[in-house]
Structures are given as C-alpha cells and as structure tokens.
Amino acid sequence: MHLAAVVSSWVLNKINADGITGRDLLGCAVAAAVSASFNAPIAGALFALEVVLRHFAVHAFAPIVIASAAGTVISRLTFGDVTQFVLIEEGILTFYVELPAFLILGMLSGLLAVVMMRSIFLADDVGNHVCKRFSIPRFIRPAVAGLLLGVLALGFPHIIGVRYETTSAALTGQILWHEAVVFCAIKVAAVAITVGGRMGGGIFWDLYAWLDGPSVRRKH
C-alpha cells in the first residue's frame, strides 16, 4: 500500500496534477494495492474512500472502484483465486436466526474499539511521562515495548503477526468463548504497548489528530 502511494505521488509530480486529482489518484493507488494484497475489492474501495479521501464523493467513487477491481483481477491472474478464510456453507434460515448475534457482536465490537483507543492514548501518555521523568532516550522506548511484547508472546504467541490461522479458527467455531475474550484483552494490550512504545504498525492513525497532541486526540 505504501509502495502504491509512493508511485502515485511520483506520477502526480510528473503530470502536475492539482489537489483534487492528486487525492483521487492516490485513493485509486491505495484501493488497488489493498485489493490486490487481500483479494478484497470491496474492502479496498471502501478503505480508500474512508481513510485516504475521507469522503464518498461521486466523482471519486467510480475511478476508485475500477482501480480496486483491477487490482483484484491482476492479483488473481498472477496468484490465482486464493482465499484466506473458508467458511462452512449455511442456509438462509440459519443466517436470519443468527441476526441477533450479529447485532450483539456489533455493539461489543464498538465497545471494544473505544477501549482500544483509550488504551492506546493512555499507553502513549504513560510512555511520554516515564521517558520525561527518568530522562530515557528515545531509542530505548521501542526496545522496552518490544521486551514487553516478547514476554506477552511467550504465553500468547498469536499476538505477533497477522495470524490468519487464529482468525480462521474463530470463524469456524474452534475457539471457545472465554478464549476469545482473553485473546481480545491481550491483543488490545499488545497494540497499546506497540503504539505507546512508538514501534508503529498495526493501526491506522488519524494524522491530524496525532499532530495536534493528546488533548485533541481524545476529542476524536
């Protein structure tokens, strides 16, 4: 995705595109990259519109969707129609029976998202305070975060990396309820430690909120 954005920026400089055209082209590049990487054209298009452009303008919708579809086509022609997750086929009746569970899952996911965001901000503030209080060099901060993550990974190795197998096990009902709760809690702690330790990765930040500082970030 970063490589696609860099290439699109190079093209923009060559053709002297204006701001609107430049953002649209950047969105097309990101959509195609996400789509090709994850074999998910809908997700690629929505990601570019929501995260890169931050709006669903009509003039940008068509080119981004086309670029996202093109990325998927090229990926499938090169690597085949590879899927990360295979779900058991269920009937239409089962789908409607599970609708209340989907509603509960949505509410729990929203609450978990709030907890994660607050945990990240708290970890970042604690890291800033500790580094300032004890005059810790900046390069030590990621090392300490890496040490903490390593300790967590000894007991919960699934927190390291993408871990498609863990997600697949959850989707196919191979993970028990209490295990899923523990995994979520550990993953939230791992993400907070990672970002608070300035290791980066694993989360998309609101750049403007980050530049404005902690007091403004909490308003988002």
Q: What is the pLDDT at residue 180?
A: 86
Q: What is the pLDDT at residue 174?
A: 83
Chunked into runs of 10 residues, the chain (220 residues) has average pLDDT values of 85 82 89 88 90 82 93 89 69 74 91 92 92 89 91 87 76 83 90 85 48 40
Q: What is the pLDDT at residue 147?
A: 93
Q: Where do the structural domains in the chain lie, given as residue ranges?
A: 2-79, 92-217
Q: What is the pLDDT at residue 28?
A: 93
**pTM to 2 decimals?**
0.68
Q: What is the pLDDT at residue 56?
A: 81
Q: What is the pLDDT at residue 79?
A: 85
Q: What is the pLDDT at residue 139?
A: 87
Which has the closest alpha carbon to 183: 159, 150, 211? 159
